[in-house]
Each structure stands twice: as C-alpha cells, then as structure tokens.
Structure 1
Amino acid sequence: MKFNMIAGAVFALLSVAFGAFGAHALKNVLTEHYAAVWETAVHYQMFHAIGLIVIGILMSKSLLGPTSMLSRAGILMFIGVILFSGSLYVLSITQIKVLGAITPIGGVLFLVAWLMVILAASKL
C-alpha cells in the first residue's frame, strides 16, 4: 500500500515535469505527431499515477483491505506506466517506430489492473 502511494506520487511528479519538458524544451524539436504522442504518454502516466494512489488509499484505509487483488493491480499498473508511457516517451524522441509495439503491452496491463480493482471492489 505504501509502495503504491509513493510510486503514484513519483509518477505524478514526473508526469508534470515531463509535460513541462515536452511543452517547452521539446517544443521546436518534436513534430506535431510526436508532440501528440508525448502528450498521450504524459496523460496516461498521470491517470495511472492517480490510480496507484487510489489503490494505496483503498488498501491503507481498510476500505477494501490489503487484498492480494489490489496488490497485484498496483504492480500491473506500475509496470504498465513504464511500458506504455515509457515506450511513448522514447518513441517520441528517437522516432524508432518498433518501440510502438511495446505500448499495447502496457495498455493491456492497465486494463487488467483496472479489472482487478473492479473485482476487489465488488467483494464489498
């Protein structure tokens, strides 16, 4: 639970920093397409940073308890951020298109993580 909240806060901080970096430092470097890809990475990172914090709160406040389902959801969401947003950041800067093949793996991990949160909540 503590890991989820700390990881979520770190991802949120980095999301703001990467958003500012993309808007200012990369403004004249990235094409319009790759700037949009960068922005997608920032948005999904922030959404899932908040998701990790919510999972941590649910576990710590005994709202759903420290269930193994929530614990696994947090791990999948954490890895999903790295694979999804990370691959899009690197893709934007390097324009190595094969990196785009990694992105959907992160997206699937997001979906599975949210499904696990739904299943844990349904046990209330």
Structure 2
Amino acid sequence: MKTELIIRIAALFGVLAVIFGAFGAHALENMLVETGRLDTYETAVSYHFYHTLALLAVALLGRLYPENSRLFTSAWFFIAGILIFSGSLYTLCLSDVSWLGAITPIGGLAFILGWMILLVSFGKRNPS
C-alpha cells in the first residue's frame, strides 16, 4: 500500500470522525440520551479519531521507512479496526441492532494487532 493512499484514507476517516462527532453532539444527542447510547457513541467517535491519527502517523513513518512492510500491515489493521469497532458501535447506536455488539471486539482486536505490529516493526532487525 502506498503512503499516499494511507494518507488519503486517514484524511477521509478524519473528516468522518469530525462529522460523526458533530452529528452525535447536535442532531443525535437527545435520541442517544433517551436510548442510553450516548457513551457508546462517544466511545466510537473517540476510538475512530485516535486510530485515524495513528493511521496518519503510520503513513508518515512509511515515508521515512518505505522498506518496512510491517508498517503497511499495521495500517491495514487500524483501517479494519476503525471500520469494525467504530462502525459496529455507530450502527448499534443508530439501529439498536444488539447483535452488532458481538462483532465490536473483533475491531478491538484489529486495533491491538495494529499496535503490536507497529511495535515489532522497529525491533532490532527491521525487515522489509
């Protein structure tokens, strides 16, 4: 995956995080409070934004270390985590389809794997 693509994906995810956060704070707040899902929605937005910034950092590291293929693997896991973790929570909050909560941990696992791969990508031997 080219760093330019990761940067574009991070920028798109950043735009969406701001939109979803603003939409939740203004247009959806009453509904989220009534359904008891405000905290869940805020968690989705927070993790969405944290990992968007992580994705951007990985893209910038990819510019500095283009031979480090693990960085790009880490990026894919952050992308999957945002889509699965935050995406399932957004959908849960808006649709009240409760079984979606069962797939949220898969997104959390993707986040963990992304961070672990990032950690080992700068070990003693930096494989390409």
> TM-score, length-normalised on structure 2?
0.89
Q: CA deviation at 1:122?
A: 2.2
Q: State which of 34, 37, 40 in structure 1 corresponds to 2:43.
A: 40
**Number of corresponding residues:** 122
Q: CA deviation at 1:28?
A: 1.5
Corresponding position: 1:94 with 2:95: yes
Q: Distance in 2 between matches of 1:50 and 1:36?
A: 21
- Determine the structure 2 residue equivalent to 1:72: 73
Q: Contact 1:60 / 1:66 at 8 angstroms: preserved in 2?
A: no
Q: CA deviation at 1:2?
A: 1.6
Q: Distance in 1 between matches of 2:9 and 2:122?
A: 21
Amino acid at match of 2:58: I
- Determine the structure 2 residue equivalent to 1:23: 25
Specify the SS of the correspondent of 1:122.
Answer: coil
- Determine the structure 1 residue equivalent to 2:10: 8
- 5+ long unaligned stretches in structure 1: none
Instruction: Report the identity percentage.
Output: 38
Q: 1:52-77 CA distances to partner (integer Å, 9 max, x unpaired)?
A: 10000001123xx3422111111111
RMSD of Structure 2 on Structure 1 (CA):
1.3
Q: Contact 1:84 / 1:104 at 8 angstroms: preserved in 2?
A: yes
- 5+ long unaligned stretches in structure 2: none
Q: Distance in 2 between matches of 1:66 and 1:90?
A: 37
> TM-score, length-normalised on structure 1?
0.92
Corresponding position: 1:111 with 2:112: yes
Runs of 4+, deviation exceeding 4 Å: none
Q: 1:15-64 CA distances to partner (integer Å, 9 max, x unpaired)?
A: 111000000000111236311111100000000000110000001123xx
- Determine the structure 2 residue equivalent to 1:61: 64
Q: CA deviation at 1:8?
A: 1.1
Specify the SS of the correspondent of 2:110.
Answer: helix
